[in-house]
Amino acid sequence: MRNTEQASIKITGMDANRTYKFEGAIYHVYLTLSASPSADWIDDFNRSWRDHFYMMKRHAQVEGAYIRVDCPLVEIETGLKSELGKIIQEVNAREAERISRAEKARTEQEVREKEERAMIEATAKRVNDLE
């Protein structure tokens, strides 16, 4: 998966084939994500949703390329989906920052390795020229 996909995950719909009645009026509703998120993204989302205050909050967690929400069907349409979307946007912003920091660190490491290689080669050339 490209890094930009990791930082721009969104809900693309509801999977009617996966969704089923759990108990009473509660369903396991599977919302489809635009991509399968990274482990960091999943941990961030699950923690953020758990800590998020919302009056109509229901259990939700990422499962592969889905968010499973345990709720009555009507709640998906009456605010729960948009509330999940807010958390997804926050997680996407943090994921973009994590990706940016990792890419910067990788680039800096590559520069250090090239400088070190040049220093080794220059030293080897000087030593070999002494012979």
Structure confidence at residue 6 (pLDDT) = 54
Phi, psi (5° rounding) for residue 14? -120, 130
Q: Where are the domains of the chain?
A: 3-96
Structure confidence at residue 1 (pLDDT) = 46
- Angle of CA points 84, 4, 65, to nearest 5°: 45
Please state which CATH class domain 3-96 belongs to. alpha beta
pLDDT in tens, the chain (131 residues): 445 555 699 999 999 999 999 999 999 999 999 999 999 999 999 999 999 988 888 999 999 999 999 999 999 999 999 999 999 999 999 999 999 999 999 999 999 999 999 999 999 988 998 76
Structure confidence at residue 55 (pLDDT) = 85
64: which residues sit within 8 A by CB, 6+ positions away? 36
- Angle of CA points 94, 98, 51, to nearest 5°: 35
pTM of the model: 0.77
Structure confidence at residue 7 (pLDDT) = 63
